[in-house]
Amino acid sequence: MLLCCDIVEGMFMTEKQELERLQSRFISMITHELRSPMNTINGYLDLALEGLAGELNQQQREFIQRARASSEHLYALIEDLLFIARADAGQLRLNHEFVRLTEIIDHAIEELELIALDNEISIDVEIPNDFPAIDVDAERMKHVMRNLIHNALRFTQPGGSIVIAACVSATPIELATTNHTQHMKVQIRDTGHGIAPEYQNQIFERFYQIPLVHSERAGGQGLGLTVVKMIIELHGGQIFVESMPGAGSTFTFTLPI
């Protein structure tokens, strides 16, 4: 009887794994197909903003900038799906290079500045001028910062604020599992709705959305924080959140440097 149950369970697991493989392959194929037209759309919008199709008046420029911002958001969602599919297929690789953290943050803020302006949300960066270059996958880290800043914007009321801060410190004893003697700590603090304690462990799970959040910009696919956590952990780091309802949220991640 036990042998029979083991065989059935093994068959079930094999079918489940095959289904997950096919699902991952389908998502990867679709997202690849979507990236090409999105790149074309973004390219032509950029050319229009550069004035290659003629001089733009102020209203035309604003309309195209907003179309570009929405297109960039859609592209980011495609990237989230593609990242998940690659992770499931075991195809994730990091391309390390030395880069300045401020460049990564500035790039993320530039993509999201229209959302901040529309809602009068200030974004301040508090990083020392002598902050060292970091050895990371620059594109993946841009993905991390964009998702975290966009998440903060979604749950911050109009007129609120977001602060991005970073510092370098000695590696804590509990994290001293590598040859790295220093860690960087990056924090994204917002004045938003906050997150109840019972939801804080679940927000990094796939497709999870906090219920009953009263914000026009809430919603989403529940993948952004999942992707952030995966990228941080691929770099040997950790991420966690501190928050209380009505008191905003602070997302903190650490990386060895």
**pLDDT (tens digit per residue) in 52-69:** 888 888 898 888 888 887
The better pLDDT of the pair 143, 20 is held by 143
Asked whether the predicted pLDDT for residue 213 surpasses 80, the reply is: no
Q: What is the pLDDT of residue 125?
A: 96
Q: Are 186 and 141 in contact (CB under 8 A)?
A: no
Query: Does the domain formed by 2-88 have CATH 1.10.287.130?
Result: yes
For the chain, how are helix, strand and coil distributed in percent, rounded to 5? 50, 20, 30
> Could you report the per-residue pLDDT of 37-54, keeping only the tens digit for each?
888 888 888 888 888 888
Q: Which of 197, 165, 209, 166 is nearest to 184 (CA)?
A: 166
Helix 224-234 vs helix 138-154: angle between axes, to the nearest 10 degrees?
150
The pTM is what?
0.77
The better pLDDT of the pair 200, 212 is held by 200
Asked whether the predicted pLDDT for residue 10 surpasses 80, the reply is: no
Q: What is the pLDDT of residue 138?
A: 93
Q: What is the pLDDT of residue 217?
A: 47
Report the C-alpha gap between 207 and 86 in whole angstroms: 17
Asked whether the predicted pLDDT for residue 5 surpasses 60, the reply is: no
CATH architecture observed for domain 96-256: 2-Layer Sandwich (3.30)
The better pLDDT of the pair 119, 84 is held by 119
Question: HSE on the CB side for 71, CA within 13 Å?
Answer: 19
pLDDT interval class at 2 (50, 70, 90): very low
Q: Is 207 helix (H, G, I), strand (E, B) or coil?
A: coil
Asked whether the predicted pLDDT for residue 233 surpasses 90, the reply is: yes
Report the C-alpha gap between 131 and 105 in whole angstroms: 13
Instruction: Map out the domains of the chain as residue ranges.
Output: 2-88, 96-256
